[in-house]
Chains A and B, each alone.
Chain A
Amino acid sequence: MTADTRADADRLVAAARAGQDEQAQADPVLDVRDLTVSYIGPDGGTVACRDVSFQLGRGEVLGIAGESGSGKSTLITALTRLQRPPATTTAGSIVFHPAGRPGIDLVPLGARALRKLRWTSMSIVLQSAMDALNPVMRLGDQFADVLRTHNRGMDRAAARTRTTELLGMVGISADRARSFPHEMSGGMRQRATIALALACSPQLVVMDEPTTAVDVVMQRQILAQVLRLRRELGFAVIIVTHDLSLLLEVADRIAIMYAGRIVEIGSARALYRSPAHPYTRGLRDSFPPLHAPLTTLHGIPGTPPDLRRLPSGCPFHPRCPVAVDACSTTPPPLVSLPEQAAECLLLTNEEAS
């Protein structure tokens, strides 16, 4: 590729992705504002997710990355209202916008109202397919179960036809409907759970580490299928993983979480080429390159903070290579940049950077 065509490709991709950002604001499928989730304990609450706000456009792929304990799982169980005590949403709203209908705030919704939304409007793919599938039911019966629960009018024959169609979408042959989960490979099980999540044509699919348990070749196949189905069916995807290198390839936009906050959010390209938050930069540089010349890399020294005893000011300052004195006292504001937004004091202060 010549420098010229590469620059052209860059511009095209940037334009396409910037377009998606605007689309997210104009017609969001999910609008999360100031979401705060605490784990309530005898000595008060531990805030695992603090003031999280973002919008997800229709058909958009949003990646959420962070280390263990950064709050990504807490965030998605809160979004899908699958959280269990002691986790409690203490503030904020999660407004879901079904196509052509007014938005619904999921936070105050009761079990019955939520049940109406589950699977038909939003669904989830869990990390371990073995735990998500019922080990004593044949695959086809599990599909029929979901289909007929959410569409009372569907008869057995119609459910069978739809199951074949769904399995076909992820490249599983129809005769597999007779199989039990343990008779299938890990990759096939994971693809089956994705087909199951799509059973009732949801507008939003949340994926929690969907490919962590499978090998890279299968990971690529699964993601290729998800991306094609998204193109054909138009659902939006939230994909959570610790593997930023993978998200950079798959997601339109990426949110980076640290100590329960989204510290940076922006287009995948911007986060890779010009990360604004030092933590994002550290995370990006924690993945050695596959082809580019090698240099000695150091990852991010130190360990994530204990959420019960967060450092003052910016929670990242004890590990931050570019921290200044003010970082330990002043909570960083959210600074908007052309392709991203980040919470870092240095962005407000030209001379410091």
Chain B
Amino acid sequence: MSTAPVLSAVDVTKHFVVRGAVGDSAVVRAVENASVDLHAGRIVAVVGESGSGKTTLARMLARFYDPTAGEIRLDGVSVSGRPTRAYHQDVQLIFQDPFGSLNPVHRVRHNLDRALRIHDRRMSAAERRRRAVELLERVSLTPGEDFLDKFPHELSGGQRQRVVIARALAVGPKVLLGDEPISMLDVSIRLEMLNLLDRLRREDGLALLYITHDIASARYVCDDVIVMYAGEMVEGGPKDEVIARPAHPYTKLLVESSPDPDRVGTVSRDELFDDAEALGEPPSLIEPPEGCRFHPRCPFAMERCRSEAPPRTDVGGGHWARCWLHQEGRAHEIGESTFAAALTRRDEQVRA
């Protein structure tokens, strides 16, 4: 990448302190040493299961949370403390729930107008109205005039999410952070929402972060993908490299667990679900496993994985992974069989 990133997280860590009933407290290690660069005109997807830290990462980038360690840089300048209005003019966050993020007692006009007014006080009322219509048409709510006087409850889920995006665009941001922006929408309208994000990236040169648990939708819209597991980034790189040739066993598990109708008719159902009954669950982030956090579930785990956190290994073409297999010359084993089959084989060896 030749251009400098618009927004970066550099080695950010976030720990939350939770208090128990009897005064004891625990530290939840939600995100550990995560780094991501967002470039103008590109979409980075962060995929992972719930509790993997993807939302916490987005919220640090939006500066709802201050990182426990590491820093957020906007245009190369480190930012900290209370976020300024100027920051949110550049960086906007879109939430998962379009029902909860619009004020239900106000019309669309008010919801948009407020964003316009707060961020540019000199704009006249007539000017703001014209901008509001423009914004609605930008997100394909046409004719925009027809939507100005609607209340959120009069809109479908997809239309509401478009209004949310229009409002985010009202301030003219450089970066849009989408936290599962389509997961509450009906499947038939999800693609148009992804196509909209793609248009904003191509035509307006926005830098986008797309957070999702759905690898197929990430592949559809993004350029690069980062996989998170238990608060850590375990693999990243160009989407097709990562999805077609996972360099981390967890990514492989995630890809193989995702529905892929193309397999229907070529593989029998029993084969498809064979060995998939005991794949394990992510650990608690209060006492995450030592070493590599994935080692208790990993069929390839070695002694070293139990004690030392694996370093980042570049596997070429911008594709990287944090896994000891690469340091030990065993990386080829990842691609040799399915994750489930490797797990079954390991269990048989343990028993023997």
Contact = CB atoms under 8 A, between A and B. Distances in A.
Nearest to B158: A303
A218 B261 contact: no
Nearest to B250: A217
Contact of B189 (A188, A250, A299): A299
A298 B191 contact: yes
Contacts of B215: 216, 290
B235 to A, nearest CB: 15
B219 A288 contact: yes
A166 to B, nearest CB: 15
B266 A10 contact: yes
B118 interface: no
Contacts of A286: 187-188, 190-191
A246 B267 CA distance: 15
B260 A245 contact: yes
A253 B41 CA distance: 43
B213 A282 contact: no
Contacts of B261: 244-245, 248-249, 272, 284, 287
Interface residues of A, number: 58
Interface in A21-74: 67-68
A288 B259 contact: no
A300 B189 contact: yes
A220 B278 contact: no
A347 to B, nearest CB: 21
A297 B272 CA distance: 26
B265 A9 contact: yes
A217 B191 contact: no
Contacts of A224: 273-277
B257 interface: yes
Contacts of B120: none
Interface residues of B, number: 48
A124 B216 CA distance: 30
Nearest to A303: B156
B296 to A, nearest CB: 14
B192 A298 contact: yes
A272 B265 contact: yes
A227 B273 contact: yes
A156 interface: no
A215 B49 contact: yes
A13 B187 contact: no
Interface string B174-196: 00000000000011111110110
A65 to B, nearest CB: 9
B219 A294 contact: yes
B216 A227 contact: no
B186 A290 contact: no
Interface of B: 49-50, 156, 158, 186-192, 194-195, 213, 215-217, 219-220, 243-244, 253-255, 257-270, 272-281
Given A273-B265, A290-B259, 6 more contacts: A6-B266, A14-B265, A188-B281, A231-B270, A272-B264, A290-B260
8 contacts: A225-B277, A227-B269, A228-B277, A290-B216, A290-B219, A290-B259, A294-B219, A300-B188
Interface of A: 1, 6, 9-10, 12-14, 16, 67-68, 171, 185, 187-188, 215-221, 223-225, 227-228, 231, 242-246, 248-250, 268-269, 272-273, 282-284, 286-292, 294, 296-301, 303-304
